[in-house]
A and B are shown apart, each in its own frame.
Chain A
Amino acid sequence: MEAASQTAQLPDRGLGSLDVRRILPFAGLLALIAVGAYFAVESPLFLRWSNISNIIVQGAVVAIAAYGLTLVLIVGGGNIVTGGIDVSVGAVTGLSASLIAVCVAAGWPLGLAVLAGLGCAAAIGAINAIGAVIGLSALIVTLATMNIAAGVDTLLTDEAAVRLDHPVIEWIASSEVAGVPVIAAILALVTLLFYLAVHKTRIGLRAHAVGGNRISAHLAGIPIKRYVACAYLACALTAGLAGLLLVARIHGSSPGAGSILLLDIALASFISAIFSRHLVPNIPGTLLGAMFGALLTNGFTLTNVPTYWVTTVKGAVVLLVVGVAALASRQKDR
Chain B
Amino acid sequence: MTFKGRDSRMVWTPVVALAAICALFTILNPTFASLGNAQVIVGHAAVLTLVALGMTVVVRTGGVDLSIAVAVDFGALVTVAMMHDGYTFPFALVGGVLAGVLLGCINALLIVGAGMDPILTTLGTLFLGQGAQAVYTEGGSPIFLPVESIPDAFYELGHLTLLGLPVAVFIALAAVAAFWVLLEKSTFGRTLVAIGAQRPAAEAAGLPVRRDLFLAYVICGGIGAFAGVVLSAGVSSYTPEAGYGYLLDAVGAVFVGTTMHKEGRPNVLGTLLGVLFFGVISNGMVLAGIPFQWQRIAEGGLLLAVLGANMALRRSPTPLFTSIGRILRPNQVGGGR
A contact residues vs B (CB 8 Å cutoff): 79-83, 85, 87, 127, 131-132, 134-141, 143-148, 150-152, 154-155, 214-215, 218, 228, 263, 266, 270, 306-316, 318-319, 322-323, 326-327, 330
CB–CB B331/A144 < 8 A: no
- Binary flags per residue of B318-337, CB closer than 8 Å to A gives 1, else 0: 00000000111111110000
| Cα-based distance from A215 to B128 in the complex (angstroms) | 36
Using A82-B330, A82-B331, A311-B130 as known contacts, say yes or no to A144 and B296 having CB atoms under 8 A apart: no
Specify the main secondary structure of chain B where it touches its partner: helix
Which A residues touch B308, using CB under 8 A? 134, 136
Name the residue of chain B whose CB is nearest to the CB of A263: B127
| Cα-based distance from A87 to B224 in the complex (angstroms) | 22
- Binary flags per residue of B250-269, CB closer than 8 Å to A gives 1, else 0: 01100100000000000000
15 contacts between A and B (CB under 8 A): A135-B328, A140-B251, A143-B247, A145-B300, A147-B248, A147-B296, A155-B291, A228-B331, A263-B127, A312-B128, A312-B131, A312-B132, A314-B127, A316-B128, A316-B131
- Spot the interface stretch: B116-124, B151-159, B205-213: B116-124
B12 interface residue, CB < 8 Å from A?
no
Which B residues touch A309, using CB under 8 A? 131, 135
CB under 8 Å from chain A, chain B span 74-129: 110, 114-117, 119-121, 123-129
How far apart are A301's CB and chain B's nearest CB, in angstroms?
Answer: 15
| Cα-based distance from A148 to B123 in the complex (angstroms) | 19
How many A-B pairs have beta carbons closer than 8 Å: the answer is 157
| Cα-based distance from A150 to B294 in the complex (angstroms) | 10
CB–CB B301/A148 < 8 A: yes
Partner of A323, one of B114, B123, B132, B134: B114
Partner of B127, one of A127, A311, A326: A311
Known: A137-B330, A147-B297. 15 other contacts (CB 8 A): A81-B117, A83-B330, A136-B311, A144-B301, A147-B303, A148-B300, A214-B333, A263-B130, A306-B135, A306-B138, A309-B135, A312-B128, A319-B110, A322-B116, A326-B116
CB–CB B297/A323 < 8 A: no
| Cα-based distance from A311 to B129 in the complex (angstroms) | 9
Partner of A308, one of B64, B135, B329: B135
How far apart are B305's CB and chain A's nearest CB, in angstroms?
Answer: 9
Which B residues touch A127, using CB under 8 A? 304
| Cα-based distance from A154 to B292 in the complex (angstroms) | 10
